[in-house]
Amino acid sequence: MLSKTQIDKVGDKLRRDEADEDALTKLFQYQEEFVPAYKYVERILTKKMYLTITGRPAKSTLSIIEKLRRINSRLSQVQDVSGCRTIVHNLAAQDEAIQRAKDWFVSLQVDDKRDNPTHGYRAVHLLVMHEGKCVEVQIRTRIQHFWATISEKLSDTYGQEIKYGKGNQKVLSLLDRLSHNTRHFDLLVNRLHEMQHDHVLALSQNRRDQVRTLNKRIKDQEQQLRHTMYEARAILLKFDQMEDRNVLSD
């Protein structure tokens, strides 16, 4: 096992673009040290929590180099050398996954980015410590994942700095609007499901006044959802128009 000093020396070489064969060999060795922890986390998520995951036991070399340069951190302090992602239907399922993770993992830190996004990015990240190694678990709703996918696509067109709040200001502004839009959508869906549950309960108990009230509230909620979807489409159309102009200018 590599010492912290050895790990950080490798990180320094990677950051300065001075990595030789020995440094790359040690980086691979360091990444391999995370495999047992990753497999442990993967087993709990899939076999005990019944989640479908995608991920990698180790972050790619290029991603590690980019992160070391971006945050000016030591390699031994990078928390997502190993990680995976799961995508759930909605906020309620996300909350349930967080609670179940707290039940299963002894050493767990929750980084909730839903109300305090990072450059528009919303999700919940779990940092699981196992045998001295940290494994990051990203839990996203489908709409949060949709936003992240759009952000990745735009970063391919306008530069990777877009993901970190830099670069084309118009793109950043539209991404921020879309981030708020998707958060509103998630909250509306969550509330709609609660109303529908209450509606079924009221029907089963023959509470007619409450059923009528809930019918109206459900219709209003569905109308708000449609409006939010129209807003998202308008934002996406602006992205398409910008891309078309870029193609023409090329």
Under a CB-based contact definition with an 8 Å cutoff, are residues 164 and 107 in contact? no
* DSSP H/E element including 56: strand 53-56
* DSSP H/E element including 53: strand 53-56
If asked whether residues 12 and 120 sit together in one domain, one would say yes
128/156 Cα distance (integer angstroms): 30
If asked whether residues 86 and 136 sit together in one domain, one would say yes
Average pLDDT over residues 72-92: 93
The region, left, alpha or beta by phi > 0 then psi within -120 to 50, assigned to residue 119 is: left
Got the DSSP string for 94-160? HHHHHHHHHHH-SSEEEEE-SSS-BTTB--EEEEEEETTEEEEEEEEEHHHHHHHHHHHHHHHHH-G
Beta-carbon contacts of residue 162 (< 8 Å; ≥ 6 apart): 151, 154, 155, 168, 171, 172, 175
If asked whether residues 181 and 134 sit together in one domain, one would say no
If asked whether residues 33 and 99 sit together in one domain, one would say yes
Supply the range of the domain harboring residue 108.
Answer: 4-141
- The pLDDT, as a whole number, for residue 155 is 93
Could you identify the residue written with the tokens 């009528």? 212
Percent of the chain residues topping a pLDDT of 90: 84
- Please report whether residue 232 resides in a domain: yes
If asked whether residues 23 and 127 sit together in one domain, one would say yes
pLDDT band per the 50, 70, 90 thresholds, residue 246: low
Structure confidence by residue, pLDDT tens digits, 95-129: 999 999 999 999 999 999 999 999 999 999 999 99
Largest CA distance in the chain: 75
- Please report whether residue 146 resides in a domain: no
- Please report whether residue 31 resides in a domain: yes
If asked whether residues 200 and 85 sit together in one domain, one would say no
Buried b (16+ CB within 10 A) or exposed e, 20-38: eeebeebbeebbebbeebb
Among the candidates 141, 160, 193, a domain finishes at 141
If asked whether residues 108 and 32 sit together in one domain, one would say yes
Average pLDDT over residues 32-40: 95
Structure confidence by residue, pLDDT tens digits, 130-176: 999 999 999 999 999 999 999 999 999 999 899 999 999 999 999 99
If asked whether residues 27 and 108 sit together in one domain, one would say yes
If asked whether residues 180 and 95 sit together in one domain, one would say no
**Integer angstrom CA distances of residue 160 from 70, 151, 221:** 11, 9, 37
**What average pLDDT does the chain have?**
93
pLDDT band per the 50, 70, 90 thresholds, residue 66: confident
- Please report whether residue 157 resides in a domain: no
What domain count does the chain have? 2
17/48 Cα distance (integer angstroms): 42
If asked whether residues 57 and 127 sit together in one domain, one would say yes
If asked whether residues 64 and 101 sit together in one domain, one would say yes
By the 10 Å C-beta count (0-12 exposed, 13-18 middle, 19+ buried), 117 is classed as middle
Average pLDDT over residues 1-23: 92
Q: Specify the pTM.
A: 0.90
The domain spanning residue 112 has which CATH number?
3.30.460.10
231/177 Cα distance (integer angstroms): 9
- Please report whether residue 70 resides in a domain: yes
If asked whether residues 44 and 90 sit together in one domain, one would say yes
Beta-carbon contacts of residue 88 (< 8 Å; ≥ 6 apart): 51, 94, 97, 139, 140, 141, 142
Could you identify the residue written with the tokens 């992160």? 67
CA 225-226-228 angle, 5° bins: 65
pLDDT band per the 50, 70, 90 thresholds, residue 248: very low
Could you identify the residue written with the tokens 């990680």? 83
Structure confidence by residue, pLDDT tens digits, 180-223: 999 999 999 999 999 999 999 999 999 999 999 999 999 999 99
- Dig out the tokens for 75 from the structure: 């390699």
- Please report whether residue 150 resides in a domain: no
- Please report whether residue 160 resides in a domain: no
Question: Within 13 Å and on the Cβ side, how many CA atoms surround 176?
Answer: 12
- Please report whether residue 119 resides in a domain: yes
